[in-house]
Amino acid sequence: MSQSFEIKGKCLIFSAPSGAGKTTLVHYLLRNMDELEFSISAASREPRGREVDGEDYHFLSVDEFKSRIEADAFVEWEEVYTDMFYGTLKSEVEKAWSKGKTVVFDVDAEGGINLKNIFRNHALSIFVKPPSLFVLEQRLRDRRTETENSIQKRLGKAQGELDKAEKFDYILLNDNLEKACHEAKDLVTQFING
């Protein structure tokens, strides 16, 4: 993190293996809590399904992403797979804080750990855990947006991410979506008001 980046507010970090339901939980919180603002991550991949540039992600080419790394435009970034970069833009975080909002991140486990290390006690990190790897695989297949190769890659990565759950402030089991939504809202409310 560069010296020019000053922490001016609170953050919520949601991480999980792909398909665990973190994005659904994040969307629930954003719909039901006005004090939150989503930090749109940057990604060097093509949009999937109905994803919209500037809404779901800032979709950048690999070269654009690398030039932003050079320009120190990211709070954190990582190369998840070869030439597949994801990162958190400083401008997204600063925009939310300037409105007095709590920033919400929806990132993979490695990104979540990186963000928690940067924001420390200004952030609440929540790991969303699926009931099992079998359920996770079914959720990925039910999306119908992934190739078989992509599903296998994500499942391979999932076990490593599950092993990192203990590095988060809270592990939220998503075996019942309604219950998980209410539990997440309670945790977030306590953190913001604390």
pLDDT for the residue numbered 133: 83
pLDDT for the residue numbered 1: 41
Tell me the C-alpha distance between 112 and 158, whole Å.
Answer: 14
Q: Is residue 42 classed as helix, strand or coil in its secondary structure?
A: strand
Q: Are 89 and 74 in contact (CB under 8 A)?
A: yes
Delineate the domains of the chain, giving CATH numbers in brackets: 11-193 (3.40.50.300)
The owner of tokens 């940057």 is 42
Query: What is the C-alpha R_g of the chain?
Result: 16
Q: Give the predicted TM-score (pTM) of the model.
A: 0.87
pLDDT for the residue numbered 3: 41
Each residue's pLDDT expressed in tens, for the chain with a length of 194 residues: 444 578 999 999 999 988 888 989 999 999 999 999 999 999 999 898 888 999 989 999 999 999 999 999 999 998 988 899 999 999 999 999 999 999 999 988 888 999 999 999 999 999 999 888 888 888 888 888 778 888 888 888 888 899 999 999 999 999 999 999 999 999 999 999 98
Distances (CA, A) of 143 to 17, 106, 120, 156: 14, 18, 34, 18
DSSP H or E stretch at residue 174? none
DSSP annotation of 47 reads: -
pLDDT for the residue numbered 2: 43
Sign of the Cα torsion 165, 168, 170, 174 reads: negative
